[in-house]
Structure 1
Amino acid sequence: MRRVVAVVAALALAGCTNAPPPPLVTTEVARTEPTRAVDPGEVVVGVGSVAGGYNPHKLADQSAITTALAQMLLPSVFRTGADGVRRLDRTVMVSAEVTSAEPYVVTYRVRQEAAWSDSAPIAAEDFVYLWEQLRDAPGAADAAGYRLIENISAREGGKVVAVTFAEPYPGWRSLFADLLPAHLLKDSPGGWEAALADGFPASGGPYSLRALDRDRGEVVLERNDRYWAEPVALDRVVLRRTDVPGLVGALRTGHVQLGLTPVDAEDEPLIDGLGAEVTTTAVPGSSVAAVLLRPVSEAMRESAVRKAVVAVLDRAALIAVGTGGGPAAALPADALLVPPSAPGYQATRPAAVPVKPVPAQAQQLLTQAGYTKEPGMWQRGGVPLNLAIAPAREDYADLATEVQRQLSVAGIQSRVVTPADPYAPTESVDLLVGPMPADGDAATALASWFGCARDAAGGTTTAPPTSTTTPGGAAPEPVAANPIGYCDPGVDESVQAALSGATPVADVLADLEPRLWQSALVYPLYQPTDQFVVHRSVSGVAPGPPLAGPFALAYEWRRRG
């Protein structure tokens, strides 16, 4: 009895103290993965990120998730086929053709039943909105073609759209892809800068947006009940953020049926371990990762400085950081405008443009520009050369940091900055690390990246006179119309000839690319590539047309029982 009382007292005393209870010893219970009924109307896609904005027309928003959502939610006049050729999308359009040579007019006829998911018609208003935004907005993708438009008129309730160009434009089929709902965006808070920053207010495609949750990393798309063409078989497509180990586990348990995500060398064996349960395909993206060396900034104005920066970069190390040794490492970019996976791709990089550090060359170029190395850092007039490096998006931050490290090794000070719009051609960014879209018309891309601004008469726009204008009434400098901040009237003459078709674009590129390489304006690295993993529980799934990706064919997806 005394022993019982002692035990009870001890327990009572323990309850009055902060001492933790004794550890529980348990036996592990065998666990099984809970089963759930197959939903034949749903496909879940594991993706690397759902971060936005989501505007396919903004350079800063270019990403795999933006391309995927645009493919499923937004209407386009033309779409790329399996052979890489643009063809009229007859679910949206009746016709689109050149109806006048002088003036140059393209007439578009939109299907009468084509409408946004809120029942507003897809019509001329949407064409006008896209034109007005892209011709003037900084950081717009492939804007050169829109700047050639002089006027847009409409008839038949906006379903017939006549677009008048200032000059012939053979690349007109590249325009008016991913139309946006003008009636909802034209007066929305934040204007163009905020357009599609947080989602899609309406859909003009086979799916509509049900939910977009960045914090949870999930996007839910449902069948658009107001879609006028043949409805899709699936009720719902879910895009869910996951890493590769999580994707592999979810594919095994059936919680995910598809995956589209970047992988590195360590991830590939995990996916290979799925065996015959899946098929895998490397899907090159619609951009090229590059370092832009911007002459609009004071520090990079001299070509000798830009060439010196190129001479200190180790491209192999940059590619290793950017790709992690994954499939993208097999697609190094050696052309300025055509991505490595594109049909007819040819390397254009001159042998004189280094891909490994050449310290002696960098030293010679910086000395030529008036810099001296004291103490261990390059300076001019006692002021260090200090470059601002901006990653275009968060997923380019590691690449920007590696550029900074390589510059530091060479004695060039630098800092990583995060401007609100990294593609705006301002002096605050010397080096921009990010994607260059590569799925457009070649002549349009050339003009969008290297062309000068044009005035109403078709001539090169010049900046207004300033206090820096040289004595004797020297003409002010021409104005760039591209994110690099570059304008050379001699180059621009050839650029405009390619844009108008006066000179074949292949001939212009053969002449200009060596000159542009030597100017050290763009240093291409690689073509970002995702691994597309398809579980055998789905059918009708394919990697998609070149540079368009698998979501371009999402309307064909089916779920097996």
Structure 2
Amino acid sequence: MRRVVAVVAALALAGCTNAPPPPLVTTDVARTEPSRAVDTGEIVVGVDSVAGGYNPHKLADQSAITTALAQTMLPSVFRTGPDGVRRLDRTLMVSAEVTSAEPYVVTYRVRPEAAWSDSAPIAAEDFVYLWEQLRDAPGAIDAAGYQLISNISASDGGKVVEVTFAKPYPGWRSLFGDLLPAHLLKDSPGGWDGALADGYPASGGPYSLRLLDRDRGEVVLERNDRYWAEPVELDRVVLRRTDVPGMVGALRTGHQQVGLTPVDADDEPLIEGLGAEVTTSAVPRPTVATVLLRPVSEAMRESAVRRAVVAALDRAALIAAGTGGGPAAALPADALVLPPSAPDYAATRPSGVPVKPNAKQTQQLLTDAGFAKDTAGVWARGGSPLTLVIAAGRPDYTELATELQRQLTEAGIQSSIATPADPYRSPEPVDLLVGPLPADSDPATTLAGRFGCTATAHPAPSTTPTPPPTAPDPTANPLGYCDLSTDEAIESALTGSAPVASVLESVEPRLWQAALVYPLYQETDQLVTHRTVAGVAAGPPLAGPFAVADQWHRRG
């Protein structure tokens, strides 16, 4: 107490004098910038969109995010190798081989330990489910091979699957990729239309889905602890929606390690500014941006009208609108089946198919079809103007659809733009569809899937095949197109009775003349990889970087 009183007295005395207080002695404290610990178990990928559905077998769901999720979580019997050739995926399969020529039977043996992340076995049920859905559903990808199947039987607890075909099918290795968990989807609300609309209920791959947040634009994939094969090194892969300036900034600060997104000519200098910190490469997607002229619609039923529309188009302007002068502009598509990045690709577009607006040709074709221009300069027949509905196959195709509408307006053809959730199954009529068409490494399957009639019957799952139909099914492909004069040749390529190269040589000119599809360019992403990660590569042809996501890891 005496000490406290003494201190107080001293302070009071000091306050009554004019002497300055003693100098304050300070010690310099080292200052450091706040930093976030590097998470070496995580790779963050900047992407342009995480919007879905996410069903890799539906045309309406085709996108980079859908491919990424399928390749990291869905099992496939065969996968594309570095040389573009399909090889048996031995993490899933013991074997797959043709075991009978007459009838044509392929026997699949699934590894006993292969299972979904909820512990349900990957087995015959999953094969049957995919077959039943793809053989019937409009807007399905590469349905032709599944339509050749007449029966599927199982043994050994579903781990041995025998698939019987109504006809030989040399392209059978293209089947049963991206198998789906039948036990969770077969009775799900919404059926096939709702399958994978909001995510994945289970995984059969090295990663599983932890989070899918469309509003925040983020998808989190975590290591699948129930994966039976060798586990991946990373704890998680995060896909984060961003634009190119945001991606460049995040790569510079270390908040992202990889970027995979379409870029235009204005974006390329931003990426180049990252210098030696990153490596870049153009990655063609397995899709070709295409204008589909759907003969199943009333307005486009006549070949002359479809050809008149093609003659009105400025192809270079459409490509510029879709690519912005980015890497995709370097891959213009001039064939109806093979994409520009395919090793055997060659242009097949005849010289008579215009690439610049040809007003004389449009006028001649529409006049011959009974149309005439009214006082407003609009083509009409019987007092009704020619009015077309343009559907954008994805939200990012809206700008391309707008350019298409502008060109039609200049030619005197009225049009409107619609954005149905699934333009291939829209209850409203769709005359022109601007969107991605998938490209398969088996050209016979792609040819039949785009232009063929139904390959065979749609039999019920039983040991007795149903007799073939008496008439072709006009909904067998995304165009709603069926021409028996070309279908015989198309089926001969599909079943191997004729070489696919010779069939393409004879059929493609006739399909160009029919003006059914007008390919523009192969969709292409720019892959940007920071030096702090390894194993990230462009991936096998038509597969992409996520096909090798199990090899990704951080340096140091």
**TM-score, length basis structure 1:** 0.90
SS at match of 2:252: helix
Q: 1:33 to 1:523 in 2, by over 3 A?
A: farther
Question: Alpha-carbon deviation of 1:393?
Answer: 1.2
Q: Could you tell me which residue of structure 2 aligns to residue 24 of structure 1?
A: none
1:75-94: CA deviations, max 9, x gaps?
A: 00000001000000000000
SS at match of 1:105: strand
Q: Could you tell me how far apart the structure 1 residues matched to 2:52 and 2:230 are?
A: 30
Q: Could you tell me which residue of structure 2 aligns to residue 558 of structure 1?
A: 553
The answer to whether the 8 Å contact 2:321/2:400 transfers is: yes
> Is the aligned partner of 1:226 residue 2:226?
yes
Q: Could you tell me which residue of structure 2 aligns to residue 120 of structure 1?
A: 120
The answer to whether the 8 Å contact 1:169/1:499 transfers is: yes
1:391-430 alignment runs, 5 A limit: 391-424=392-425, 428-430=429-431
The answer to whether the 8 Å contact 1:399/1:433 transfers is: yes
Letter in 2 for 1:462: A
Which of 503, 511, 516 is residue 508 of structure 1 equivalent to? 503
Q: Could you tell me which residue of structure 2 aligns to residue 441 of structure 1?
A: 442
The answer to whether the 8 Å contact 1:305/1:366 transfers is: yes
Question: Alpha-carbon deviation of 1:452?
Answer: 1.2
Question: Alpha-carbon deviation of 1:421?
Answer: 2.2
Q: Could you tell me how far apart the structure 2 residues matched to 1:363 and 1:118 are?
A: 62
SS at match of 2:328: helix
Q: Could you tell me which residue of structure 2 aligns to residue 160 of structure 1?
A: 160
Question: Alpha-carbon deviation of 1:461?
Answer: 4.5
Q: Could you tell me which residue of structure 2 aligns to residue 473 of structure 1?
A: none
Letter in 2 for 1:503: A
1:334-345 alignment runs, 5 A limit: 334-345=334-345
SS at match of 1:259: strand
Q: 1:309 to 1:34 in 2, by over 3 A?
A: farther
> Is the aligned partner of 1:462 residue 2:457?
no
The answer to whether the 8 Å contact 1:282/1:327 transfers is: yes
Letter in 1 for 2:57: H
Q: Could you tell me which residue of structure 2 aligns to residue 244 of structure 1?
A: 244
Q: 1:303 to 1:34 in 2, by over 3 A?
A: farther
The answer to whether the 8 Å contact 2:142/2:446 transfers is: yes
The answer to whether the 8 Å contact 1:139/1:483 transfers is: yes
Q: Could you tell me how far apart the structure 2 residues matched to 1:32 and 1:255 are?
A: 19
Q: Could you tell me how far apart the structure 2 residues matched to 1:206 and 1:499 are?
A: 33
Q: Could you tell me which residue of structure 2 aligns to residue 52 of structure 1?
A: 52
CA RMSD of aligned residues (A): 1.4
Moved more, 311-320 or 435-444: 435-444
SS at match of 1:255: coil
> How many aligned positions are there?
517
SS at match of 2:246: helix
Q: Could you tell me which residue of structure 1 aligns to residue 169 of structure 2?
A: 169
SS at match of 1:91: coil
Q: Could you tell me which residue of structure 2 aligns to residue 323 of structure 1?
A: 323
The answer to whether the 8 Å contact 2:147/2:456 transfers is: no
Q: 1:33 to 1:275 in 2, by over 3 A?
A: farther
The answer to whether the 8 Å contact 1:454/1:460 transfers is: no
Unaligned ranges ≥5, structure 1: 1-30, 464-477
> Is the aligned partner of 1:83 residue 2:83?
yes
Q: Could you tell me which residue of structure 1 aligns to residue 305 of structure 2?
A: 305
Q: Could you tell me which residue of structure 1 aligns to residue 92 of structure 2?
A: 92
Question: Alpha-carbon deviation of 1:458?
Answer: 6.9
State the percentage of identical aligned residues: 78
The answer to whether the 8 Å contact 2:289/2:521 transfers is: yes
The answer to whether the 8 Å contact 1:111/1:159 transfers is: yes
Question: Alpha-carbon deviation of 1:424?
Answer: 3.0
Question: Alpha-carbon deviation of 1:439?
Answer: 2.4
Q: Could you tell me how far apart the structure 2 residues matched to 1:379 and 1:392 are?
A: 27
Question: Alpha-carbon deviation of 1:490?
Answer: 1.1
Which of 519, 531, 534 is residue 539 of structure 1 equivalent to? 534
1:313-369: CA deviations, max 9, x gaps?
A: 001000001001100000000000111011111000000001110000100000010
Q: Could you tell me which residue of structure 1 aligns to residue 145 of structure 2?
A: 145
Unaligned ranges ≥5, structure 2: 1-30, 458-465
1:167-205: CA deviations, max 9, x gaps?
A: 000000000000000000000111000000000000000
The answer to whether the 8 Å contact 1:285/1:527 transfers is: yes
Q: 1:531 to 1:120 in 2, by over 3 A?
A: same
Q: Could you tell me how far apart the structure 2 residues matched to 1:479 and 1:318 are?
A: 29
Q: Could you tell me which residue of structure 2 aligns to residue 314 of structure 1?
A: 314
SS at match of 2:297: coil
1:223-250: CA deviations, max 9, x gaps?
A: 0000000000000100000100110110
1:259-298 alignment runs, 5 A limit: 259-298=259-298
Q: Could you tell me how far apart the structure 2 residues matched to 1:161 and 1:68 are?
A: 27
Bigger Rg over Cα: 2
Q: Could you tell me how far apart the structure 1 residues matched to 2:171 and 2:44 are?
A: 37
Q: Could you tell me which residue of structure 1 aligns to residue 108 of structure 2?
A: 108
1:449-489: CA deviations, max 9, x gaps?
A: 111125547756538xxxxxxxxxxxxxx634111011111
The answer to whether the 8 Å contact 1:425/1:484 transfers is: no
Q: 1:245 to 1:405 in 2, by over 3 A?
A: same
Q: 1:366 to 1:250 in 2, by over 3 A?
A: same
